[in-house]
Amino acid sequence: MSTLSAPGSRVVDFEAYVAERRPALLRWARAVAGDPHTAEDLLQASLVRVLPRWESIREGAAADAYVRRTITRQYVSWQRQPWRRDEVVSSWLPEPATSPPDPVDPRQAGEVWGLVLALPARQRAAVALRFYEQLSVAETAEVLGCSTGTVKSNTSRGLAALRRLAADTALAG
């Protein structure tokens, strides 16, 4: 029996953490990425990066903050890769999906969620952290790995864009 899979090992602890926190982490990844398919990939890639450091971060709320920051940084890193810029997400699948339902259904969240998803990535992340996850400016800055001023400006710009989008939607509807 491998020491990594023995009871009390870091992998067992990590698996328990992921099993418990996966829905919340997936919601966060979706808020950052903007679509459920990229969110799944983003969460998986981020968890792969977290496992080797699990022993040092698994205590308390530090784990959630570390994983959220890893998700956000992984997404930003992906956006910097030239081949990712040309990627187009499609709802068409070659065969029927048998995956479980998405934990956050935008239709249940209302029209506002659709407007939030239309924001640029940084603004979407700041707005989601501040208002969806209800983090403070300082906590949001820590998760995003930026200054509090950057959080404030991205949040302000995001809210202004949401107001414009809401007004345009009201005029169109």
The residue whose two tokens read 């809210």 is 159
- Each domain of the chain, given as residue ranges in start order, spans 9-85, 105-173
What's the CA gap between 14 and 20, in Å, rounded?
A: 10
Assign domain 105-173 to its CATH architecture: Orthogonal Bundle (1.10)
The lowest-confidence range among 23-32, 89-98, 128-137 is 89-98
Give the pLDDT of residue 109: 56
Topology of domain 9-85, per CATH? Answer: Rna Polymerase Sigma Factor; Chain: A (1.10.1740)
The lowest-confidence range among 73-87, 100-114, 123-137, 146-160 is 100-114
For range 142-159, the mean pLDDT: 93
Give the pLDDT of residue 104: 45
pLDDT digits (tens, 9 = 90+) for 45-72: 999 999 888 888 866 678 888 999 999 9
The amino acid present at 155, given as its one-letter code, is T
